Structure 1
């Protein structure tokens, strides 16, 4: 756990340094290894995101132990979700942020994540479906496959547990990945996105990155 905390601390410290440079240069955004941090990203949120990433990765490890599936190589991934990564006709109006941790053993992927400060409740695909509808989209938080400059194909819906306000909550999922999905994950082409009632096309998006 100490090693995880150190790695994640260094990761978030680098993000904080880039945010400072952004504010000094008045640049609109920063991009590093497919993670784009918006100018409005609050440095005070970095500690919370760090805590969420550590907690999420710890939970995935606990699940592996409980399932006795720790044999073989273990790969860990993190994703920082923000509005600047969203590909949509209109940029999301939001101060939301989120974080996800994932662990891969063989072809089994376990994901745990958090989101906060949404502009509105998550999009309800039962009452506001796609055209044509997709019965596999059962929540407002999804895993997609695609490059950072495009909206990739839907892969999985994550299980979501919002709090009473509907603007904050957690998501999770366990999936058996195909060879194509495994390749996408290793290439940085598997990402999480989140859709809300106000930002139906997407409010947050973050790419899974190995560390």
Structure 2
């Protein structure tokens, strides 16, 4: 039943009569995404082409306890911006998009006397997790649908292409302990390198000018 509902919804946006005449000029959307809260200005260039520049923001301060019982205290930042070109092959609300993203998920934290796989490392460490590259390719598909008047409903699913890197510095370690600690960080980065993309889901409501 769920798959049937999804198929009906997708078919509606793919096969509905062209809505290009209702998607004109400039619009601004407010949205909620796994990338953060968003403000999305956009401009309709032609019935099949538009450009968007979503800006995402958000984050939180706090503490996190990992599987080894280590308490990391710090801040996560979601600030980023994306420039997208939207192609509407059916001249309606359905769109396929591509572009570039600047910024994204970042976290900075401190941890004292961390234990990794049963080994405790003395001292306080500064830990940073961020994308390897500040600029990443982005691909998505979704819809922008006029709800009547100037109100616009939109949604997208996609991915940012790129990997992450973990850096940990500090502590009071002997050369042997430092070598062991560096090996653990290298192992974690090897695991992170398996994540080739960051998927995202976005929904929004906008106003056309």
Return the TM-score normalized by structure 2. Answer: 0.29
Name the structure with the higher helix share: 1
**Structure of greater Rg:** 2
Return the TM-score normalized by structure 1. Answer: 0.29
